[in-house]
Amino acid sequence: MPRNLLPHDRAVRRRRPRVAAALALAASLVANSVALASPAAATQSSASQTGDEARSAQLRRLARELVAAGAPGVIARIDDGDGRPVEIVEQASWTRRDHLLKAGDEVRMGSNTKTMMATLVLQLVAEGRVALSDPVEKWLPGRVPNGRTITLRMLLNHTAGLFDYTEDPALRPSILGRDRRRWTPEKLLAVGVKHDPLFAPGTKWSYSNTNYAAIGAVLERVTGTSLVNLVRDRIARPLGLRHTYYATDSTWRGPYARGYEPDAAHMPPTVPAGLRNFAGTRHDGHVDVSGNDPGWGGPAGAMVSTAQDWARFSTALMSGKLLPAAQLAQLRATVPVDPREPDGAGYGLGVQTSATPCGTFWGHDGGIPGYLTTNVTDRAGGRTATLIVLAESWAEYGSDPKLAKAAQAFQLAAICAMFGKAAPAHTG
């Protein structure tokens, strides 16, 4: 569950349900902003087109280039808040024997799950049932080291200092789809806290899926209700999100996008030996991992959704439909991801923010085998962008620079288009 949109730190540093991917991208977006051309240069070849048409054409070209660089498929949805959203679908020819990709296909959202978990906590805060200052010991007595000094806020903004459970070898069979055991939030938390804390609570920032395993356990303890039902009753049903749900097994509820990873023979050498052999149907040098169980992602990365559903959620969240103003302000209260860059990316409660030459975005990303997703919006939720690449290991381990470069170009162009601005020049 990495993040590739914001500063990358693999949804689990190497496996954080891809919030890492989103976070990671944010950082890479800023790092690569020097490649931006002036609006005039960016649209020079499209002088006869309107700004919207030029941006749409460039996005489609960059999506094709991303597939040509090695992505099995790409889905994107960009809404600049002033017209009909642009939907883009591209897929590699070899994937067509499995299914014809559509913009409304369900995908695994990985670490974007964290944004929904934080929303649920803040709803309970608004109802007076929990407080962000509550020590985790209050709700999970004896379950978490330093539990008397780790608050719910620290869990939500990744300053608790807990080891990331996805780094433990016990998770590898599940990550590879070779172990279908049922992982509850409590079991995932237990794996993470077997390891020594990384630092004293509140003293540093470090992305850890274990933080959200603890959050999930707290949510179920406080409400007496499963995360499946909490997501359904408090978010999905009220917003009419028909294809959004918390997954506890490999079952899909609607048409879904197939996600892929290279097979063992084609896996880049930078990928660790223990994470090279995914379960699933093999063909064309890849493994179809879409039938594998994402339950190991738990409260840190098990959500399923579509580009349109998630855009609706992002708009509802950032516009104040899901949270009162006081709790929305808490969600946006950030800590630096890198203290050496005080003006760099910040992480709030289940969301990250970063500045680009086209505007400041809020969002998250997620990475889980077969799916790298990035969801961003503006501060008010009036503009949204969702970007989905149907493969993830390349972003986790820096194993495919060509694909990474194409993805960064597409992501930055999409974010600029979301802000209604000229897309960056493609430096290809």
Would you state the pLDDT for residue 1? 54
**Counts for the chain of helices (H) and strands (E), in that order:** 16, 15
| CA 366 – CA 10 distance, rounded (Å) | 8
Assigned token pair, 27: 């950082």
How far is the first Cα of the chain from the last one, in angstroms, to the nearest whole number? 28
Residue 422's pLDDT is 79
Q: Are 29 and 42 in contact (CB under 8 A)?
A: no
Please check whether residue 282 is in contact with residue 262, taking contact to mean a CB–CB distance below 8 angstroms: no
Please name each of the domains of the chain with its CATH number.
Answer: 2-418 (3.40.710.10)
pLDDT of residue 11: 38
Structure tokens at 115: 């944004």
Neighbours of 417 (CB within 10 A): 26
Q: What residue has token string 């959704």?
A: 305
* Token digits of residue 113: 């799950």
Question: Are the C-beta atoms of 390 and 78 separated by less than 8 Å?
Answer: no
Q: How is residue 116 written in tokens?
A: 């929904």
- How confident is the prediction along the chain (428 residues), in pLDDT tens digits per residue? 544 444 333 333 333 333 333 334 444 443 343 333 333 334 444 444 578 888 899 999 999 999 999 999 999 999 999 989 999 999 999 999 999 999 999 999 999 999 999 999 999 999 999 999 999 999 999 999 999 999 999 999 999 999 999 999 999 999 999 998 999 999 999 999 999 999 999 999 999 999 999 999 999 999 999 999 999 999 999 999 999 999 999 999 999 999 999 999 999 888 888 999 999 999 999 999 999 999 999 999 999 999 999 999 999 999 999 999 999 999 999 999 998 887 789 999 999 999 998 999 999 999 999 999 999 999 999 999 999 999 999 998 888 999 999 999 999 999 999 999 976 564 44
CA distances to 104, 105, 153, 236, 287 from 177, rounded to whole Å, are 25, 21, 32, 27, 11
Distance separating alpha carbons of residues 418 and 379, to the nearest angstrom = 12
Cross-strand partners of 363: 352, 376
Q: What is the pLDDT of residue 420?
A: 94
Residue 333's H or E segment, with its range, is none
How far is it, in rounded angstroms, from Cα 373 to Cα 187? 26
Contacts of 106 (CB under 8 A, 6+ apart): 243, 252, 253, 254, 255, 256, 257, 304, 305, 306
**How many Cα atoms sit within 13 Å of 419 on the Cβ side?**
20
Cα separation, 397 vs 115, in Å, equals 24
Residue 350 gets which letter from DSSP? S
